[in-house]
Amino acid sequence: MHDQREQPIRIFIVDDHPVVVAGLTSMLGTQSGMVVAGYASGGEEAVEMLRSRAVDLLLLDLRMPGMNGVDTLHALSRANIHIRTIILTSYETDEDIYRAVQAGAQGYLLKDALQADMVDAIWTVHAGKRYFPRHVAERLAERMTRSELTARELEVLHMLARGLTNKEIGAALDISGNTVRNHVNSIIEKLEVSDRTEAATSAIHRGIIEADH
């Protein structure tokens, strides 16, 4: 088993759902070798609190209003605060996972995880290793094989998903409709889909764009 003679792992929780904060506190607070050192309901608040608080491990929600998980990781990095981090989220889109790893997360947990898995993940990451559930790792691998969309293609993708025609997108971006068509064709090719409609739904599914407009 784990060595519990040492100092307990000080865990900090960042999540905008009060019920999740309460749940984690309740699940981890009773674990020997771990202690919940505090929590924040948003990224800004978390960065501020972590300046002056000694913490060993961060449990970080990915999707939050305002500053999201990835933004928070970058902000912490800029503030020269380095804490091993496990992303804790309901979503497992390719893009979410990819961005989280890019931003420096060492672990990725889904919110439907069992208490035992959470505890395991925390011990693993605290020990300096990485923790990714199998299907999460698979999605990450799949994402790696795909080429990135360019900034322009992303703009076009967003407008296309809102039902604009190439001509309308061109007018909005002040470029020709022919150019938009070229971008759309690249998008279709890169996402490996058959038409603009599937490009839109697939982008939502993969987490490249949001469903809400």
List residues binding DNA (CB under 7 A): 148, 150-153, 165-167, 170, 173, 175-179, 181-186, 188-189, 194-197
Interface with a second copy, residue 19, by CB under 8 A: yes
What does the alpha-carbon distance between residue 85 and residue 104 come to, in Å, rounded to a whole number?
8
Give the DSSP letter of residue 146. Answer: S
Interface with a second copy, residue 134, by CB under 8 A: no
Interface with a second copy, residue 17, by CB under 8 A: yes
11 three-state secondary structure: strand
Interface with a second copy, residue 160, by CB under 8 A: yes
Q: Which listed range, 3-11, 135-143, 175-183, 194-202, lies at the site for a second copy (CB under 8 A)?
A: 194-202
Name the packing angle between helices 196-206 and 151-161 (round to 10°): 110
Selected binder of a second copy within 77, 102, 176, 201 (CB under 8 A): 201
Both structure tokens of 191: 């996402």
Report what 114 binds from DNA, a second copy, none; CB cut-off 5-8 Å by kind: a second copy
Query: Sheet harboring 9-14: ordered strands across?
Result: 34-40, 9-14, 57-61, 84-89, 107-110
What does the alpha-carbon distance between residue 95 and residue 191 come to, in Å, rounded to a whole number?
12
Q: How far is the CB of 94 from DNA (least distance, A)?
A: 18
Report what 22 binds from DNA, a second copy, none; CB cut-off 5-8 Å by kind: a second copy
208 within 8 A of 161, measured Cβ to Cβ: no
Report what 112 binds from DNA, a second copy, none; CB cut-off 5-8 Å by kind: a second copy
Q: How far is the CB of 24 from a second copy (least distance, A)?
A: 6
Give CA 100 to chain center in angstroms: 4
**Residue whose token pair is 């094989």:** 145
Q: How far is the CB of 78 from a second copy (least distance, A)?
A: 27
State the first-to-last Cα distance of the chain, in angstroms, to the nearest integer.
49
158 within 8 A of 169, measured Cβ to Cβ: no
Q: Which of 122, 159 has the CB closer to DNA? A: 159
Selected binder of a second copy within 118, 136, 149, 180 (CB under 8 A): 118
The binding site for a second copy (CB under 8 A) comprises 16-27, 90, 111-115, 118, 160-165, 193-202, 204-205, 211-213
